[in-house]
Chain A
Amino acid sequence: MITQDQGFFGRLTWDSFPVAALIRHPGTNEIVANAAAAVVVVGVVVVVALLSWFRLWGPLWRDWLTSADHKKIGIMYVVFAVVMLARGVLEGVVMRAQQAAGPGDGFLAAEHFAELFSTHGTIMIFFVAVPFVFGIANYVVPLMIGARDVAFPVMNQISLGLTVSAGMMLMVSLVVGEFSTGGWTAYPPYTGAAFNPGVGPDYWIWAIVVSGIGTTLTGINFAVTIYKLRAPGMTFMRLPMYCWTIICSSILIVFAMPPLGVAALLLAADRYLDFHFFTNDLGGNMMNYANLFWLFGHPEVYLLVLPAYGIYSEVFATFSAKRLYGYNSLVIATMSIAILSFTVWLHHFFTMGQSALINAVFGIATMLIAIPTGVKVYDWMATLWRGRIRFSVPMLYGLAFLMLFVIGGLSGVILANPTVDYQVHNTLFLVAHFHNVLLPGVLFGLLAAYNYWFPKAFGFRLNEGWGRVSVALWTLGFMLTFLPLYFVGLLGMPRRSFSWEDPDFHPYMIVALIGALVVLGALLSVLVQLWVSIRDRDRTRVPAGDPWDGRTLEWSIPAPPPAYNFAIIPRVSDRDEFAAAKEGGAAYPSPAAYEDIDIPRNTGIGFILCVLSGVWMFALVWWIWWLAILASVLIILAIIFWSFDSSTELTIPAEEVRKAHEAWLEQVRQAPAIDRDDETTSRNRGLARPDLEPAT
C-alpha cells in the first residue's frame, strides 16, 4: 500500500543503490551484488563507447532500430535473448555454487539467493525462451510460407520494443533497488504489500505486464500471418511442419497470456491501491492467483516447446534427406497438445487441498499429453529410418534431444500422478524435470535452428567444429547439472534452498556445480563459434542460398535474402516445395516479368514505445507519479501521431528487383553444384545437386 511521504523521486533514495550497502557493511554477498550491477553498468558503457568509436549510431538507427523488416526484427530478438541467456546462465552457476558450498549457509544471503532464483526463472522464460522462439519464427516463418513480411510489420516492431524494455527492467533492478524474492511465479500473499513492501515484486509485475502485451501482439501477428499470407497453393496441409507449430504456439499465446496479465494487474491493484484480491484478509484468496497464473503457465511451456518440435521436424527431414514421416500424425499431435495444454493447469498445485476426484481428472488429462508427444518422438525416429543421416550440428542437437527429452517425458508422467507429486512437488525433482524439458527440448531446438538458419540470415555458415564442441558441452553440461537433481529431489531436498544440512546431498551438489560450469563453457563455445565463423566468413559463404539441400521455400532464395524476400511470389504444389522443384529441375526459375514490390517503411514508433514504456515501468516501480503520468501521456500521443503517418510502405521498382534477382541467378549458375560430401567444405556455395544415387 502506498504511503504518503515521498519526494520528487518517489521512494527512490541513495539507499536504493546496492553500492550503499557495500559501503556500509561490505561482505561477500554485497560484493557479488555490486559485481552484478557493475557488469550491467560497464556493459552499457562499453556498448555506447564502441558504437560511438565506430560511428555506428546512424547505421544502428537506420538499419536496425527503426526497421520493420521481419528478418531484422528476428535477429534483434535473438541477440536480446542471447544477452539475457548469458545473465540467466551466470545466475544458474552462482546458485549452483551457493548450494555446492554447503552443508551450511554458503556465501550468499538468503534474500540474495531468492532474488537469483526469481530473476533466473523470469529471465529464462520471458526474456530468453520467448524472444528466442519468436526471433527464429520472425526470421523463418515468412520465408517458409512465401511471404514478404509478417501481417503487421509495425506491430511486430512494437512487440520487440515492449519485450526489450521489460527485459531491461530486470537489468535496471540489478543497479537500482532489488528484484522480487517471490520466484518466477510470484505467489501472493508472499508478494503482497504486507509481506514484501519493497520494489522487488513491482519490478516483476510491470516487466510481466509489458512483455506480456508484447508477446500477445506477437501471437496475433503470427496467427494472422500464417492464416492470410501463405503463398498461392500452400494449403494448410502443405504448410511446413514448423509453421504448424508456430500457428499452435500463436493460438496458445492469444489465449494464455491474458490470464497472466490479469493476475499480475490484480496483484498490482493489491499492492498499489489496497485492493484485496489475494491478501489474507477481507476475502482475498491466493488460490485464485495460483489458478490464473497456471492457466497461463502451463500453455506457456507448450508455446515454447511446440516451435522447437517444429524445428526438429525440419532438421530431421533435411539432414536425413527424406520426407518428414507421418506429417498428418504430427499435425494432429501438435494440435492435440495445444488443446490439451489448457486442460492441465491444476497439476501445478495438486497439493493445494482439492478433492481426489479433481486431482485424478487433471492427472489423467496431464498423462494424455504424453500420447501425442510420444507419437511425435516415434514419427521423428521413423523420419530418420531409411534416411541418409548427416551428423551436422543441428542433427546432433536433434539426436541429443530425442535421447534426453524422453527422460524428461518420463519424469513428467511420474509427476502427473498426484500421489507421487505430493512427495516430489517443490523439490529439486521438479526443477530437474522442467530443466530436462526446457533445455534438451526448447534450448537445443533453438540452437539447432540457429545453426540451421544462420547461413540463410547472414550468407555464411557457422563453424562446424565449434558447433560440435558446443553440442557436446551443452549435452554433457545438462546431464551433469540436472540428472543429479532428480535424485537429490527424491531424497527430499526442497527447491529454492539457499542452505542445507543433510550430508547425503553433498555429492549431488558438487556434481551439479561441475555441470553448471560445463554449461557455462557451452555458452562460451557458442560465442567462440560465432566469432570464428565471422572471422572465416569468406570461406563459408553460400550466396546461392541452399547450403543444406533444403526442402522448403526459404532455401530457394538468396542468402541473405533481399528485403522483399521473394522477387516473385512462388506457387506451391508440394509440401516439400523446394525439394520437389529441385527434383523436377524447376528450381531457380527466371521469371518472365517483374513487378514493383511494396515493403514496410522504417518507423521509429517501436523504439519510442520501447523507451517510453521503460520510463513508465520505472516510474511505477518507484512511485514517481508525475513521471508515470507524463510517460502515459507521451505513449498515447506517440501512438496517435504515428497513426496519422500514411506513408508506411516503400516501393521497390520492378527494374531494381529484376537487376538484383538476375545478378543472383547468375551467381547460382556460377556456383558449383555440390553433393553432400562437400556440405561442410568451402566448395559449398549454397547450390545442391542430387546426392548419392540410391544403393539399390
Chain B
Amino acid sequence: MLAALVALAVSGPVMGASDSFMDPQGPIAAVQKTHMLRATWLILIAVIPVLVLVPLIAWRYRRRRNSAATYAPNWDFSAGLEFLMWGVPVAIVVVLSIYLWKATHRLDPYAAPFGEGPAVQVQVVGLDWKWLFIYPELGIASVGEMGMPTGRQVALTLTTDTVMQSFMIPALAGQIYAMPGMTTQLHLVADTPGVMQGENTQYNGRGFTGQKFETRAMTQDDFNGWVETVRANGILLDGDTYRTLAMRTDRTEVQAALGTEKMPDNALYFRLDDGDLFHTILGRYHRGTALAVHDQPGTADFGKTPTGQEAGE
C-alpha cells in the first residue's frame, strides 16, 4: 500500500497540473524540490541501516533453545562502535548543514536570485476570506486572480487587514506569513505560462478553505493585455468598495456583492483610487489610538456602527 502511495505522490500527471512544489512551475519551487529530495537521500544513509538491521537483529538474537547466536549479557560498550554511532550522524548533519546554509540564503524569500529585469511589484492584503492583489505601478487590483508575467520576478509585499494568514503558491515558492500592521516579502518567478493555485494555509475561520486564488502566469504580452482588461473592466476601489471587500465574506459572497458581468465568474477587478491603499491599510494600526471593533475588518461587528446599523449602505 505504501509503495502505491509513494508512486502516486511522485508521479506527475496524477498530481493535478501545478498545485504542488512536487511539480514546480518556477525555479524557486524547483530548487525546493531538489533540496528536499537530496536531503532525504542523505538522511536515508542513517535511516536505512535501522530499517534493515532491526528486523535482522531481532530475528537472529531471538531467544530460543540451542541458538547458535552469541549471547553477551554483560557487553555494554565498544569504542569503535561508539565512534561510528556518533560519527555517522555528525558527518551527515555537517553535510546537511552546509547544504541548508547555502539553500536558505539562496532561497531567502526577501531576496530575488532568479529572473532578470525589474520586478513586478504586487502588494498583497489578506482579508477574511480572500486575498487582494494591488499592482501600485499599474493602477489596478484584483481578487481571486493574480496575473504575472513569465520569466520575470514578481516582488510581493504582504500584510493582512484581519488576523494572521499565510500566503502560498506551492508551484512557485513557499509560504510567508502575512500579519496585520506589518509587512513581509516574497519573490516569485514562473517559467512557463500556466494556472497555479494559491492559498492561505493558516486557519482563520469558516471561509478558510475557500481562500484560494488562481495564479495566472502569462507571457509579457499576455500580461500587458490582462492588465488592460483589469483596468478596463474593473470598478473603482474606493473606501466604500474596500469596506465591502473587507467584510467577513467568502469568495462567493464577495463576488455576489461586487462582481459585474464584465468580470470573470470567480474574480474581481479594480481600478485604484487611493494611490497608496496598501499603506493606508498598514497605517490603520499605527495611529496610536485604539481601533474600535466595528472598524476592524475580519470581526463580526465590522461595518456596523456602534448602534448596530450597517454603515455605508
Contact = CB atoms under 8 A, between A and B. Distances in A.
9 interchain residue pairs of minimum CB distance = A422-B174, A426-B201, A353-B184, A356-B108, A374-B89, A110-B206, A487-B9, A388-B63, A281-B291
Interface string A377-400: 111011011111111000000010
B46 interface: yes
Q: Is the interface of A mostly helix, strand, loop or mixed?
A: helix
A359 B65 CA distance: 55
A325 B76 contact: yes
Interface in B158-185: 162-164, 166, 168, 170, 173-177, 179-182, 184-185
A423 B21 contact: yes
A189 B9 contact: no
A183 interface: yes
Contacts of A422: 32, 107, 109, 173-176
A374 B176 contact: no
B296 A381 contact: no
Interface of B: 1-2, 5-6, 8-9, 14-16, 19-22, 29, 31-32, 35-36, 39-40, 43-44, 46-47, 50-51, 53-55, 57-58, 61-63, 65-78, 81-82, 84-86, 88-90, 92-93, 96-97, 100-101, 103-105, 107-111, 162-164, 166, 168, 170, 173-177, 179-182, 184-185, 197, 199-210, 284-285, 287-291, 293, 296, 298-300
A491 B21 CA distance: 8
Contact of A419 (B104, B197, B205, B290): B104
A407 B43 CA distance: 10
Nearest to A289: B164
Interface stretch (A62-70, A364-372, A535-543): A364-372
A240 B300 CA distance: 56
Contacts of A378: 50, 81, 84-85
B71 A425 contact: no
A647 interface: no
B82 A326 contact: yes
A418 B28 CA distance: 13
Contact of B288 (A282, A327, A359, A502): A282
Given A326-B82, A389-B63, A427-B201, A498 B209 contact: yes
A407 B6 CA distance: 14
Q: Is the interface of B mostly helix, strand, loop or mixed?
A: mixed
Given A190-B163, A386-B75, A500-B209, A402 B100 contact: no
A258 interface: no
B290 to A, nearest CB: 6
A418 B177 CA distance: 14
Contacts of A599: none
Contacts of B296: 194-195, 280-281
Indicate the size class of the contact surface on chain A: 35 or more
Most B CB contacts (10 A, CB to CB) among A352, A483, A503 go to A352
A377 B63 CA distance: 21
Contacts of B185: 353
B108 A326 contact: no
A511 B5 contact: yes
A419 B55 CA distance: 34
Most B CB contacts (10 A, CB to CB) among A181, A364, A507 go to A364
A388 B197 CA distance: 56
Contacts of A281: 181, 284-285, 287, 289-291, 296
A371 B174 contact: no
A42 interface: no
A410 B58 contact: no
